[in-house]
Structure 1
Amino acid sequence: MIKKSTYLFLSTLFFISSFITAQQYSYTKVIVEPEVYSIMSDKWNDDFKHVEYPKQWLHNIITIKPGESIQNGIDKIHESGGGVVFLKEGTHVLEHTLTLKGMITLVGEGRDKTIILQGPNMNSTGFNIEDEPQVTDLVIKDLTLKGTRQGKANGILIRGKNESRHTRIMLQNIDVTDWSAQGVHMKRTNNIIMDNCNFQYNGSGGGLYHNVYFLYNKYIFQSDCDMSYPVKGKGNKYTSSEYVLAQRCTIKDTKTNGIQADHEEAGYIFFHKYHISGCARVALWFPCEDYYNKFEYTESPKYAPQHVILNRCEIVNNRWGAMWRAVNNSYIIKSVFDNKNIDLGLLKCDVTLENSSFKKGNEVYTDVKQWPKDVEILW
């Protein structure tokens, strides 16, 4: 018979062990800087809607070693009602696209230890979610997803549909690099969190491929993410994306634009301490054309982002700083611009400048005929 004191001791050890294991697999909630909340309240009242975090099931765990099937682990955990697929240290080579599912935490031992590598005969997407079934509560953390720049393959591709959008997707402490198409491409997906991630050196397949590309998404939170060095495209494209908060993010050295934000439903975008430098074209490109009829110039606020705030941002050493058309109800606060040509070019915009410096200078245009000839309309 086990003594009561021994039983209590063993029970305590089991509880501590379970707690430590759960902590290893659980995400860390991201702290929003208090200044962000203060400015949002002042400028937007309660209009901004923040993300929802995913749920996790942390006590149902499958461990996958390099060479074993990650897909089998995902399928089993999903079918059992949710849990953790734990990828051991080493290089896991992908021979086929992995289909991600809901109620899954896919976690490695660290981004420098657990590497998921595009296989030599694989020309398709690394991680994929189709428009159905709907996927909810997916966490990917502590690993690297590395491409080989072959084919036209996305690192992570998530495609939802309006009537049943995927929701509560979190990427934390991961690298997504060297994919020939988008590093991460999310369509019609809500409640997206990216924390402490590097999305770099993607888009070698052409100028339409970017490190990160959001399309028709709502409720996005990015914190401490680096989208530098896209091979041919942009650092981050926010198309038809609403309720975006990005704090302490970085984009450096692009061959085109750093950020593009555009089209219908684009609005309530807050950039806090965003650093953008070394862009060969425009650091912050906010056009106003209809995405589906872009060769006909429309100049409509419907197709430009509205309600934008830049706070304490650093936009320096780009060819052009920010070139915006029909952007309204927006603010640039305590930010620094110092670029090679124009710092800030505004065509029919309502943008309030507060306590910001513009070393090169700004231009305000009242007619598209005044728009600089070397800044092409369709960039």
Structure 2
Amino acid sequence: MMKWIIKGIRLGSILYILMVVSCTENVPAVSRVILEPEIDAVMAAKWNSDFHHVEYPEQWLDNSVSVKPGESIQVAIDSVYEAGGGVVYLREGTYVLDSTLTLKSKTTIVGAGKGKTILKQGPKMDKACFNAEAKPTITDVVIKDLSLKGTRKGKVNGILIRGRNEDRHKRIMFQNIDVTDWSAQGVHIKRTNHIIMDKCNFQYNGSSGGLYHNCYFLYNKYILQSDLDMSFPLKGKGCKYTSCEYVLAQRCTIKDTKTNGIQADHEEAGYIFFHKYHISGCARVALWFPCEDYYDKFTYKEDPKYAPQKVILNRCTVVDNTWGAMWRVVNDSYVIKSHFDNVVLDMGLLKCDVKMENSTFVKGNEIYTDVHQWPEDVKILW
């Protein structure tokens, strides 16, 4: 949406009238993520055409509703949904929310920019800032150009999307948003397909305990992450990928965790491609890939079904962590042109099939053929 500003400029005896266009909201259309060409080349060499990329959400840009601070965002979301899809413009300012906003299909929610449009946790809010339950199924949802700001109180998520296997949510995109200071998960997405996150900061979340992370995926397929910063989780991990297939992350960052940086585990976990991921300053393990049954995690297992398979680290930087990577039963995987330099160990691999190509390991790696060789100071369950 635009408005015309009329300005007069006098030069000598002549008055010039200027018509100036001023954009009052950001453009609602999403920008497609440009993948670095090397990604496709490495995928083709290692996986042929087996990797499945995300689908982008469809947008309905001709119908729009504008909201300013003090007005109801939920009424606007409901309005464009009932009209068959559209855009909710959130004007610049701070919106203090005492109730959770329910996401609806075919809806684009766009602000004036990160730090300009701020949705802030109010004293009565519970559950999440944005929420979608298993029913009804939502599709084609975009949230862009705004900040979600928690208070670190209660157990409240920034964004919570919970699907169901028989009818998953689909085509969800976050672009240019901040999600910070939520006491539970910053972003928690379950049983959802085709998720895109671009130019976002998910930081300082999870004050309620170690099971709460900046970003937590559970049973999702087709994920694209680009230029994310998931540093400084307060008690949990930067990003957890449990039962996730077809994951592509480029130029993402995780720094300074009190536990592990990344965890990938459980069944249906595979085809995970990390390109130029930077992970540093993790108090425990930067890349924690256990063989862990989500529903029976206290029983030790070595079944590849419960560990990620077909993983590629390409041009990743894993430095200044206590342990760089500790993996169990991870197979058909590659570490390519990556750099490791960590405190105790760079990679510890138990019964893994991981090929190293043109990578550097300053501290060194260890290969284990039996669980009794596993370092005593690295817990089986973390």
Match of 1:184 among 187, 205, 212: 187
Q: Once the 2 structures are TM-superposed, how far is the Cα of residue 21 of structure 1 from its aligned partner?
A: 9.2
- Other-structure match for 1:269: 272
Q: Is the 8 A contact 2:25 2:111 kept in 1?
A: no
Report SS of the residue matched to 1:127: strand
Q: Distance in 1 between matches of 2:197 and 2:174?
A: 5
Q: Once the 2 structures are TM-superposed, how far is the Cα of residue 23 of structure 1 from its aligned partner?
A: 7.8
Q: Where do 5+ consecutive residues of structure 1 fail to align?
A: 1-16
Select the structure that is richer in helix: 1
Q: Does 1:240 align with 2:220?
A: no
- Other-structure match for 2:114: 111
Residue by residue over 1:227-261, the C-alpha shift from the partner in whole angstroms, topping out at 9 and shown as x without a partner, is: 00000000000000000000000000000000000
Q: Does 1:90 align with 2:93?
A: yes
Which amino acid in the other structure matches residue 263 of structure 2?
Answer: Q
Q: What is the number of residues matched between the two proteins? A: 362
Residue by residue over 1:1-32, the C-alpha shift from the partner in whole angstroms, topping out at 9 and shown as x without a partner, is: xxxxxxxxxxxxxxxx9xx8998110100001
Q: Once the 2 structures are TM-superposed, how far is the Cα of residue 201 of structure 1 from its aligned partner?
A: 0.2
Report SS of the residue matched to 1:43: helix
Q: Is the 8 A contact 2:57 2:171 kept in 1?
A: yes
Q: Is the 8 A contact 1:196 1:225 kept in 2?
A: yes
Q: Where do 5+ consecutive residues of structure 2 fail to align?
A: 1-19
Report SS of the residue matched to 1:126: strand
Query: What TM-score, normalized to structure 1?
Result: 0.94
Q: Once the 2 structures are TM-superposed, how far is the Cα of residue 122 of structure 1 from its aligned partner?
A: 2.0
Q: Is the 8 A contact 1:134 1:164 kept in 2?
A: yes
Query: What TM-score, normalized to structure 2?
Result: 0.93
Select the structure that is richer in strand: 2
Match of 1:147 among 108, 132, 150: 150
Q: Distance in 2 between matches of 1:134 and 1:102?
A: 8
- Other-structure match for 2:102: 99
Q: Is the 8 A contact 2:26 2:110 kept in 1?
A: no
Which amino acid in the other structure matches residue 173 of structure 1?
Answer: N
RMSD over equivalenced CA pairs, Å? 1.4
- Other-structure match for 1:131: 134
Taking a change above 3 Å as real, the CA distance of residues 138 and 21 of structure 1, as seen in their structure-2 partners, is farther
Q: Does 1:287 align with 2:290?
A: yes
Q: Distance in 1 between matches of 2:234 and 2:126?
A: 18
Report SS of the residue matched to 1:24: coil
Q: Is the 8 A contact 2:25 2:91 kept in 1?
A: no
Q: Once the 2 structures are TM-superposed, how far is the Cα of residue 120 of structure 1 from its aligned partner?
A: 2.0
Report SS of the residue matched to 1:31: coil
Q: Does 1:332 align with 2:374?
A: no
Residue by residue over 1:39-70, the C-alpha shift from the partner in whole angstroms, topping out at 9 and shown as x without a partner, is: 00000000000000000011101000000000
Q: Is the 8 A contact 1:22 1:59 kept in 2?
A: no
- Other-structure match for 1:8: none
Q: Once the 2 structures are TM-superposed, how far is the Cα of residue 290 of structure 1 from its aligned partner?
A: 1.3
- Other-structure match for 2:176: 173
- Other-structure match for 2:84: 81
- Other-structure match for 2:260: 257
Q: Once the 2 structures are TM-superposed, how far is the Cα of residue 289 of structure 1 from its aligned partner?
A: 2.1
Q: Distance in 2 between matches of 1:124 and 1:104?
A: 21
Q: Distance in 2 between matches of 1:253 and 1:123?
A: 28
Q: Percent identity?
A: 73
Q: Is the 8 A contact 2:170 2:195 kept in 1?
A: yes
Q: Distance in 1 between matches of 2:50 and 2:369?
A: 30
Q: Does 1:45 align with 2:48?
A: yes
Report SS of the residue matched to 1:25: coil
- Other-structure match for 2:123: 120
Which amino acid in the other structure matches residue 319 of structure 2?
Answer: V
